[in-house]
């Protein structure tokens, strides 16, 4: 009877030790996965120029966020519309682009055959370079130049977009010119023809040297911007490894879409850390001799668990973040002090 009872007790002790060892391994694995996940996220974010905040829609400047990379989504709000002063055209758009074309000769080569055609071209064509320039002379310059006009201010959420981000906004629409806004001196020379203003007397049959002007706008639509916070502005990240430091996509895109190489940071970080400490404590408690169980044993187990978890996490943070490494080292040191204290108390 006593033999069977002794074997049963031995079995219980072995099961308790195995369970304790498994709990300790689980605690180490949990804290290691959590801290390594944070480190992987930070290292990948550093390649883009800094730490990342996922603000989503409606994010605005807050203290302590300067220099962070953020994902902000929503529909841009044009505060000051772009304006073309020469033609009096304005559009509620982030960017207004004036295109100017002239009806000119251009050279067409098909094998050994060379011939000349008149067509709309957006730059002066140097006829002196033609193989047969006689009879195909073009005007030397455009009297009106193409030009781009940016909105005075465009905001996304609580942030103003820098010119670089403004120019990266996707999409393109044609603006129908407003004849009523045309200055008097140009109204005498230009007439409307579709989405163009043209100097042609007969727009359907243009002649050499005729001009036509059109305007392109960037449409106001939902976008996602990934860039760096600079005060109340979003700007390209200065220290990005790719040399670009920003991304702009149409629609509401997730952080994975705009930064696919950045792994998601672990969720419930502090809950996972506390769980690792509890697992370590209970694991150490189960490894203690059964006669040691009680309030004093629980303190000893808590010290041992803190020592183990703090040491593992401290090693992972060494050389990466001095503050985080020091915090984990302090926890390990406190755990060591408690463990030594309880062991000395037990011996005495």
Distance between CA atoms of residues 283 and 181, nearest Å: 80
| Bridge partners, residue 214, by sequence | 99
| Cα dist from 226 to 52, 53, 222, whole Å | 9, 10, 14
Using an 8 Å Cβ cutoff, are 280 and 308 in contact? yes
Q: Is 253 left (phi over 0), alpha (psi -120 to 50) or beta?
A: beta
Using an 8 Å Cβ cutoff, are 168 and 236 in contact? no
Question: Which residue, 261, 169, 173, is CA-closest to 224?
Answer: 169
Sheet strands (E) in the chain: 52-57, 69-74, 77-80, 83-84, 89-90, 95-110, 113-121, 147-150, 153-156, 159-161, 173-175, 191-193, 196-198, 211-217, 223-230, 233-235, 247-250
Distance between CA atoms of residues 190 and 200, nearest Å: 8
Question: Which residue, 237, 235, 245, 250, is CA-closest to 76?
Answer: 250
Residue 278 structure tokens = 């509890």
Q: What is the pLDDT of residue 267?
A: 87
Q: What is the pLDDT of residue 92?
A: 94
Distance between CA atoms of residues 137 and 106, nearest Å: 10
Q: What is the pLDDT of residue 17?
A: 86
Q: What is the pLDDT of residue 347?
A: 65
Using an 8 Å Cβ cutoff, are 84 and 96 in contact? yes
Domain ranges of the chain: 2-44+266-347, 77-217
Give the residue ranges of the chain where pLDDT is below 50: 1
Question: Which residue, 61, 332, 322, 97, is CA-closest to 219?
Answer: 97
H or E stretch at 315: helix 295-317
Tell me the CA end-to-end span of the chain in Å, nearest whole number. Answer: 37
Q: What is the pLDDT of residue 215?
A: 98
Distance between CA atoms of residues 202 and 204, nearest Å: 6
């Amino acid at each position: 009877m006593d033999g069977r009872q002794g074997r049963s007790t031995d079995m219980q002790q072995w099961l308790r030790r195995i369970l304790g060892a498994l709990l300790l391994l689980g605690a180490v694995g949990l804290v290691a996965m959590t801290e390594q996940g944070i480190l992987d996220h930070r290292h990948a974010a550093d390649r883009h120029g800094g730490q990342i905040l996922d603000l989503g829609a409606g994010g605005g400047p807050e203290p302590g966020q300067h220099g962070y990379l953020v994902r902000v989504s929503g529909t841009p709000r044009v505060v000051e519309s772009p304006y073309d002063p020469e033609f009096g055209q304005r559009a509620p758009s982030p960017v207004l682009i004036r295109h100017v074309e002239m009806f000119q000769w251009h050279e067409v080569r098909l094998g050994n055959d060379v011939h000349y055609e008149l067509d709309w071209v957006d730059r002066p064509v140097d006829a002196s370079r033609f193989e047969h320039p006689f009879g195909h002379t073009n005007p030397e310059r455009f009297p009106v130049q193409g030009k781009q006009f940016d909105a005075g201010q465009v905001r996304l959420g609580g942030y103003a977009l820098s010119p670089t981000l403004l120019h990266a906004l996707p999409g393109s629409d044609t603006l129908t010119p407003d004849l009523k806004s045309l200055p008097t001196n140009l109204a005498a020379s230009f007439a409307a023809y579709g989405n163009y203003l043209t100097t042609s007397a007969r727009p359907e049959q243009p002649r050499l040297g005729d001009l036509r002007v059109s305007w392109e706008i960037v449409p106001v639509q939902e976008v996602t911007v990934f860039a760096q916070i600079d005060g109340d502005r979003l700007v390209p990240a200065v220290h990005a490894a790719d040399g670009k430091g920003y991304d702009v996509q149409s629609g509401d895109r997730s952080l994975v879409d705009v930064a696919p190489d950045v792994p998601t940071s672990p969720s419930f970080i502090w809950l996972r850390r506390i769980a690792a400490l509890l697992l370590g404590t209970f694991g150490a408690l189960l490894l203690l001799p059964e006669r040691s169980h009680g309030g004093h044993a629980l303190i000893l187990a808590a010290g041992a668990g803190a020592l183990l978890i703090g040491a593992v996490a401290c090693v992972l943070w060494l050389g990466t973040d001095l503050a985080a490494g020091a915090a984990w080292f302090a926890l390990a040191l406190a755990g060591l002090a408690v463990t030594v204290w309880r062991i000395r108390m037990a011996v005495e």
